[in-house]
Amino acid sequence: MRKSLLVIALLSFYPASSFASNEITSCLSNKCRSYFNDFDVYASSGHKEAIATLADMYYNGYGTKKNLRRAVKYYKKAAFKGVPSAQYKMGLIYLSNDHYQDPEKGLTYIEQAAQSKHPGAMHTLGVIYLHNQNLPQADYWLAQAYRHGDSSMQSLVEQLKSAQPAILAQLPQLNEEVAENWLVWHQTDKNKQASVQDYLDTQLNIFKERSRRTVDWPSNWASTP
């Protein structure tokens, strides 16, 4: 129990990236329901990214009522298929949700996602190492999170500068990333991020193209040696 509370407090003090992928939020309009139905079809066909997005929809109530049990079901399916965002979100659920709390499983999922270069997972893993005073590992993962554009890293660096400058001084890889990428971070126009509908439409187009290639066999396929 102490370990669980420690991890939860840690994540709340150093917030990781937004849980909702591409800012998917609650929406029950006809358009959102249509997207949900489309992703349900492609998830049933085995598209792993569709399974992960369907989990996001259940978690946030996008096109359907919020349903944590179904969200967990689909996050686990997508995580098993190797989708880093699903591994990360399943890890967060195990770390912080009262009904599913299991820190050991949560950290395993977070580590899997971090190894797959998920920025939020790298951030979270780095913060956990930081709290446990494993500075070499904290330095490595936080630097990786910064390099891969985790949206919360700027805030974390500012917190360390103001509250724990001595600790920050012992994170050379992170300091190097901050020095090299400062202009990139500050020149990024966050308003240019794709909207939820653009994000979903892009995914649907990919699934449609994959499905077309699967069924659009050459006319001489059967006779091909």
Q: Are residues 37 and 76 in the same domain?
A: yes
Q: Are residues 4 and 111 in the same domain?
A: yes
d(Cα 89, Cα 36) in Å, to the nearest integer? Answer: 19
Q: For all residues of the chain together, what is the average pLDDT?
A: 84
List C-alpha distances in Å: 35 to 53, 119, 123, 197, 225: 10, 26, 31, 9, 41
User: What is the average pLDDT across 141-151?
Assistant: 92
What is the value of pTM for the model shown? Answer: 0.83
Q: Are residues 131 and 81 in the same domain?
A: no
Please report whether residue 61 resides in a domain. yes
CATH value at residue 46: 1.25.40.10
Q: Are residues 17 and 70 in the same domain?
A: yes
Q: Are residues 59 and 131 in the same domain?
A: no
Please report whether residue 202 resides in a domain. no
Share of the chain above pLDDT 90, in %: 67
CB 11 within 8 A of CB 124: yes
Residues spanned by the domain of 131: 118-190
Confidence check: pLDDT of 3 > 60: no
Angle subtended at Cα 143 by Cα 141 and Cα 148, rounded to the nearest 5 degrees: 95
Please report whether residue 206 resides in a domain. no
pLDDT value for 193: 54
Q: Are residues 170 and 185 in the same domain?
A: yes
d(Cα 61, Cα 84) in Å, to the nearest integer? Answer: 21
Confidence check: pLDDT of 103 > 80: yes
Kindly report, residue by residue over 154-182, the tens digit of the pLDDT: 899 999 999 999 999 999 999 999 988 76
Q: How many domains does the chain have?
A: 2
